[in-house]
Structure 1
Amino acid sequence: MAPIKVLVVDDSMMARELIADLLADDREVRVIGQAGNGRDALAFIARQRPDIVIMDIEMPVMNGIEAIERIMKENALPILVVTARDDAETAFTAISGGALEVLPKPDIDMTRAAEFVRKVKLLSRIRVIRHIRGGTGVPRCPLPAQNRAEVIAIAASTGGPGALCTILSRLPADFPVPIVVSQHISDNFEQGMARWLNDACRLRVKAARASEQLCCGTVYISPSETHMAISHARKIIFHPRQPGDIYFPSCDILLSSVADICGSGSVGIILTGMGNDGVRGICRVREQGGLTIAQDEASSVVFGMPRAAVETGCVSRILPLGDIGPQLTALVRKQS
């Protein structure tokens, strides 16, 4: 099998060399080029067609945001953003433009080499699309009837930030149900993602805090350093990571807790992502009489998590990304 071809784009030669060194020991990966700005990256991609681009945001001549937009229009490729921790909002803007995932620069070092290489390999295999395709935004058919929705829980991984933005931006400011989100993300990035989503939505989006009371019209983003759940008092609780945990934060823990606390008033949604985290939890929502929704394959960046959920038979509806927000609005309006 041919090695995965990587292009590293960063204005810092030291940063480029560090990433190249991290990848050098794996025979399945080969850095075929480096570029110091987006313009040079575009020229290289047109000539060499790498399998994945690892890109910074702040660069001279052409920054990462513009370069990502151009790449996705001209030669769509998997893009992994590596940026400074304090530039999270810009990084998530890059995700909305087509980048698959974001990692903070402080997390890229020799102690985390194996995880970084694994991430590059996984992302390089994704068949990217020029833009995340949604539906028409018009509900195609009504969702199944259920008892009053009490809490909506959303699980997402690769491609999730952009998908969340699409869904949440289509919900009205007076949306009468709290929303809790488990999005696989690098440590300490939930604050930046929450601010980015908050700017794009009419709802209030915030990073969750321990013992916080759930409020209607608010979206709570779980930190990745712990696993989020809800209590019988409808408050946020956190569970510490355990040895052997693979996904951070756990979608299964969040969905299962919402199912067990809210029963038929629970709504579970599983979005784009690799692996099967969230499948056990969304099945629990179905077992308790709640509503379960999965993003469809056409609009998913990665159909792994939704596919695994659909194959269990526990998903009530499979919907295009653009239809999920309007369907949720229609659901809660029937309750008022």
Structure 2
Amino acid sequence: MKAETVKKDFPIVCVGGSAGGLDAYIRLLRDLPADMGVAIVIVNHLRIVATQLHEILPRYTEMPVELITEGLSIQPDHVFIIPSQRDLHVLDGEFRLKPISKPRGWPDVITVFLRSLAHHWDGRLIAVIVSGYDGDGSAALCGIRDVGGITIAQTPDTAWQPEMPASAIASGCVDFILSPENIAREIVRIAQEKA
């Protein structure tokens, strides 16, 4: 019983992005301590190209960086990366992968994952939308706030591609609009608040 409680009582930060997201992920991770008790899940929406984030991002954080596999246990103080061409869900403290539900047009993998978190995660939720095209993630932000989560968008003028954070802001359900460095500070503040 205790293991189940431990699995689900820590915060998850979903960082959703696309074009220009790498710059934001690096700037964010560089300013996050490795021991704050939070799981970071990077949901980069790629259509065809395989992700290389799990090879690039370990240079910028002391947290272990893992490419998500089916049934992988969610742990604090780790960075998890969505694989390409998959929808990501969470159930019973583990990641679940499904075939991508929107194979044509812009993916909605960020929206899919945020909705799964809102329904199946008991710990605190922080949804972060950074640089990218389209509006993936925006449709789920109000649902994150409805379950007591916190929503953050990258300041559009600090994003390589401002369309995705601008769409998030336009949803009317964003609590903070911050640069990647200030997003990191806010995550640290929230993590300390829960202690």
TM-score normalised by length of structure 1: 0.52
> How does 1:1-336 map onto structure 2 within 5 Å?
150-185=11-46, 187=48, 189-190=50-51, 192-231=52-91, 233-242=92-101, 245-248=104-107, 250-262=109-121, 265-336=124-195
Supply the AA of the counterpart residue of 1:165: I
Equivalent residues, number: 187
Cα distance between partner residues in 2 of 1:222 and 1:249: 13
Supply the AA of the counterpart residue of 1:279: S
Change (3 A) 1:334 1:298: same
TM-score normalised by length of structure 2: 0.88
Q: Name 1:78's counterpart in structure 2.
A: none
Change (3 A) 1:210 1:264: closer
Q: Name 2:6's counterpart in structure 1.
A: none
Matched residue SS, 2:116 = helix
Matched residue SS, 1:236 = strand
User: In terms of mean alpha carbon deviation, does 265-274 or 149-158 score higher?
Assistant: 149-158
> Which ranges of structure 1 fall in alignment gaps of 5 or more residues?
1-147
Change (3 A) 1:333 1:275: same
Give a deviation string over 1:150-197, Cα, whole Å, max 9, x none. 21111101100111011012111112011112102354632x211210
- Cα RMSD between the aligned structures? 1.9
Matched residue SS, 1:259 = helix
Supply the AA of the counterpart residue of 1:155: G
Cα distance between partner residues in 2 of 1:244 and 1:195: 25
Compare CA radii of gyration and give the structure with the larger one.
Answer: 1
